Structure formats: C-alpha cells, structure tokens
C-alpha cells in the first residue's frame, strides 16, 4: 500500500512538472530551447503602438506606416522563432536582420528627431529602463 502511495505521488509530481513546461499562447512561455517569448494579445499590441504614437508624436499618416512596419516585423519575427527549431544562434542572426530592415523602414517613415527618439527609447528598454519585450514594443508606464 505504501508503494502505491509513493508511486502515485511521483506520478502526480511528474505530471505537474510537465504541465509547467513549454506552453502555447496567452501570455505563457512558448516551448523549447528557443522559448521564453510571450505572444502578445492584439490589445497589448494596439496599446504598445498607441504608446509609440504618443512617445514619437506621430501624425496619422506616420502612425499608419509605423503600424504596417511593426505588424510586418512581428509576423516575420514569429516565423523566425517557429522555424529556428531551437537554434538560438540562427534565431539571433535572423532577428538582427529583421531589426535592421525594420529600422531602415522606420528611418524613412519618421523625421530625424522622431527616429532619434525611437532609438533612445529602444536603448532604454534594452538596458532595463522600460518594460515589455526587447524588440521595441514594450508597455510603458508613465
């Protein structure tokens, strides 16, 4: 009887540990070695984009272009994560290319002052001065 109890406890523990592993969307970790990325909800993305509009003082035309660039970047970045198959180096290289591409497009869409401000905000976030993800879209608390 004691063995059955111990085995059932071990099985329960194993189940609980496996349930904590790589989970899907909804603000939880995505699995595997390349995991740790949180899939943002459409509401969170819209909130981040609105914060960028405010922080960079974007007009409606610039904001529409910014959203298009941001959404394209997010789609490509998600594809990179999914296709990296746990190869962190490959994912890092691809993300660097995507970031360069995004920044080139943003530089063309924004004024020099707006782009400078954008780079300053990104640098702050990388140093832990802002909240949210490191790809440039974190939620900011003012």
For the chain, the structural domain boundaries read: 45-130
Contact 114, 66 (CB under 8 A): no
* Residue-level pLDDT at 86: 80
Local confidence pLDDT in tens for the 142 residues of the chain: 667 656 555 555 554 444 444 444 344 334 444 455 678 899 999 999 999 999 999 999 999 999 999 999 999 998 998 888 888 898 999 999 999 999 999 999 999 999 999 999 999 988 886 554 444 444 444 3
Spatial distance between the Cα atoms of 13 and 9, rounded to a whole number of angstroms: 6
CB burial of 33-60 (b: ≥16 within 10 Å; e: otherwise) equals ebeeeeebeeebeebbbebbbeebebee
> Of 134, 133, 131, whose CA–CA distance to 142 is shortest?
131
* Residue-level pLDDT at 83: 86
Phi/psi of residue 38, nearest 5 degrees:
-105, 130
The pTM assigned to this predicted structure is 0.63
């Amino acid at each position: 009887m004691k063995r059955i109890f111990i085995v059932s406890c071990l099985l329960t523990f194993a189940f609980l540990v496996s349930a904590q592993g790589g989970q899907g969307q909804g603000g939880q970790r995505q699995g595997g070695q390349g995991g740790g990325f949180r899939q943002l909800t459409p509401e969170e993305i819209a909130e981040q984009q609105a914060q960028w509009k405010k922080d960079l003082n974007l007009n409606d035309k610039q904001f529409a272009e910014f959203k298009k660039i941001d959404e394209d970047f997010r789609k490509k970045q998600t594809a990179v994560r999914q296709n990296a198959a746990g190869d962190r180096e490959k994912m890092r290289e691809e993300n660097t290319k995507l970031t360069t591409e995004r920044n080139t497009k943003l530089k063309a869409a924004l004024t020099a002052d707006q782009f400078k401000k954008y780079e300053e905000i990104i640098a702050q976030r990388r140093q832990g001065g802002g909240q949210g993800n490191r790809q440039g879209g974190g939620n900011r608390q003012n």
